Structure 1
């Protein structure tokens, strides 16, 4: 077994813990009705992954595995966005549901693109 796979799995656990902390910090204290914590997690994670990817061969493959697949894979979450969108829709909060779904997609894609450009520029 590749030892880097184990390190990536451990990094995924760290990423999931970070996701929880960021979400609770942003949403838990303020009691917000919109899932802003997970939005921030996914946008910042997309930016970081874009940056890592943009750096290309300047980053060792093992580091890309641990940071990209592991840490950032554990940190970001598509499934939570999906469930929160459905829950918002079930509460008939149609505007918030659409904003959560499409806003997350648009902002995360823009952040990833920015990260790619910045990362490529740093090479």
Structure 2
């Protein structure tokens, strides 16, 4: 039974989250300003990439790394299942932090609700909800499958 995150895990999430958020901002800004993409399209691409990344990380860590994020692995000599390897921070760093900071539904909602026409707001929310179900779940599954999970 887990008693909470360790300091190392919290730091891994913080570093990964900050890096992911900065990468999201950079890619989203690039796609909108340099490529002329509509805000919702750029964020959809960002979220699709981040979801696939999360699938890759989840698949890799569940298949190859022992004891990461409570995903299984051999039990240590003290019976806790805890390991002291660098692998213990892979899922908090890359899965929770990087992929979590990179993807964000809240930014999509800001883009939707700053639209001048209320009808476009409703259409945006419905479209993004459908996209989440139709595209992002398969992207997550695809990432897990590619990683061998």
> Normalising by structure 1, what TM-score?
0.81
Q: How far did residue 81 of structure 1 move?
A: 2.0
Query: Can you list the C-alpha shifts for 1:33-67, whole angstroms capped at 9, x where unaligned?
Result: 45111111110011011111112141323111111
Q: Which has the larger share of helix?
A: 1
Aligned residues: 121
Of 29, 39, 43, 2:44 maps to: 39
After TM superposition, list the pairs within 5 Å mapping 1:1-123 onto structure 2: 2-55=7-60, 56-59=62-65, 60-88=87-115, 90-93=117-120, 97=124, 98-120=126-148
Listed as ranges, the gaps of 5+ residues in structure 1 are none
SS of the residue 1:45 aligns to:
helix
Give the CA RMSD over aligned residues: 2.3
Shift of 1:88: 4.4
Q: If the length of structure 2 is used for normalisation, what is the TM-score? A: 0.69
Is the contact between residue 85 and residue 101 of structure 1 (CA under 8 Å) also seen in structure 2? Answer: no
